[in-house]
Amino acid sequence: MVLLKETVAEFLLQHKSTILTEWTDRILASDRNISQDNITQHVEALFGLVIQGLMDSSIDESIRSLSQIVAAEILNSNADIADFLVNTSLGRTVINGQLTEWIDNVFENYKVFQSINDCFDKFIYHTVSHHSELKSRMAEDQYSFLNQTHKDRLTLLGRMTSSFVHEFRNPLTSIMGFIQLLQAEHQGLKYLQIISRELEQLNDRITQFLHLSKKEWTDSEADIFSLKDLVNEVIEFLYPSILEVNASISCNIIGDILIRGSKEEFRQVLLNIILNALDVISDVGYPSIYICASEKPTGYMTLNIANNGPKIPEEIIPNIFDPFITTKKSGTGLGLFVCKEIIEKHHGTLSCSSSDALTTFSIFAPCS
């Protein structure tokens, strides 16, 4: 016998208390994070929508409204969305179970079950969809907050560092002044000249840092200098450090390559890369550094500085020139970042490749 949907709705209303009690008693534990009153309220609301659906009422908007409320409560109470799916399906099971015991021919009354299932399916779909939207929105808000907090901390750190560098420069200026006095009294002392030159370089780097903190680069006066002479000067200056690790340095610069730019900035690049190399090869059996350069193609020089230290992990290579990226225990991750900025300022490129045999830093830049 085919039953009218209105008749089925009346039957369910008569057994409402039994259905709702069995349903709520079987709710899974994690949904207990939502208050019992709210659970009862939502179960009754969904049951009411099933009744309205059987009475051929338009319930789509009502389902959406209820699903939004439930999705928000699941998210706010940190309940498990999987448990929501199970608990909602329990209501479907309880209702269909009651009807199966009452209806003689289930097949003939499939439209009744179809109406009930449509109601539950739409409710589950809209709830899960809205829950996903709310979760994505919350994640975006948290990311924006953390990103802004990180920016604020970096800004504060930059101000503190800039202040510290200013304070550092004051005694440095005094030291440089006394060195000049000593040079006037002891003109033949070689070490005073080295100290004076290094203090001047330190002062220049402080100036560069202060301009960098203001998002500016100093327009250093352009020089025309010999790459071979500069490399030899850097190697001579680093000689004590080279001896300390007992490193072998091979240098092969073809021709007299002249570069137009800031000699001191290029010196900083070479010092940084070679010092990094000395640091990583200190524990290898035969520590070696290989420096070679040539003018290829005409008007451009290629300078390679290689070492036989440990291979740099492949996942680090793409980001090795980013600030705060370092493979050294005591490194700041700023040295290579500054090197890349200097080379790019001179319209060149700085790249890195690493294998089990060699790690190579390559500079490609215009030459005069």
- Fold topology of 223-366: Heat Shock Protein 90 (3.30.565)
pTM assigned to the model: 0.47
Q: What is the pLDDT along the chain (368 residues), one digit of tens a residue?
A: 445 678 888 888 888 888 888 888 887 655 445 667 777 788 888 888 888 888 766 888 888 898 898 888 888 887 778 888 888 888 888 888 888 888 766 556 777 788 888 888 888 999 889 888 888 888 777 777 666 766 666 666 666 666 666 677 778 888 888 888 887 887 777 777 778 878 877 776 676 566 555 544 444 557 899 999 999 999 998 888 898 899 999 999 998 899 998 888 899 899 989 988 998 988 888 999 999 999 988 899 999 999 999 999 888 888 888 876 666 655 556 778 888 988 998 899 999 999 999 999 999 999 88
pLDDT given for residue 106 in this prediction: 56
Separation in Å, CA 320 to CA 208, 212, 306, 308, 351? 21, 19, 16, 18, 9
CA-based nearest residue to 99, from 197, 7, 201, 162:
7
pLDDT given for residue 172 in this prediction: 80
Quick check: bond before 297 cis, omega within 30?
yes
Pairing outcome for strands 248-253 and 288-295: parallel
Domains 1-217 and 223-366 share a fold: no
CATH code, 1-217: 1.10.490.70
Burial of 96 (0-12, 13-18, 19+ CB in 10 A): middle
Question: Where in the chain are the domains?
Answer: 1-217, 223-366
pLDDT given for residue 30 in this prediction: 52
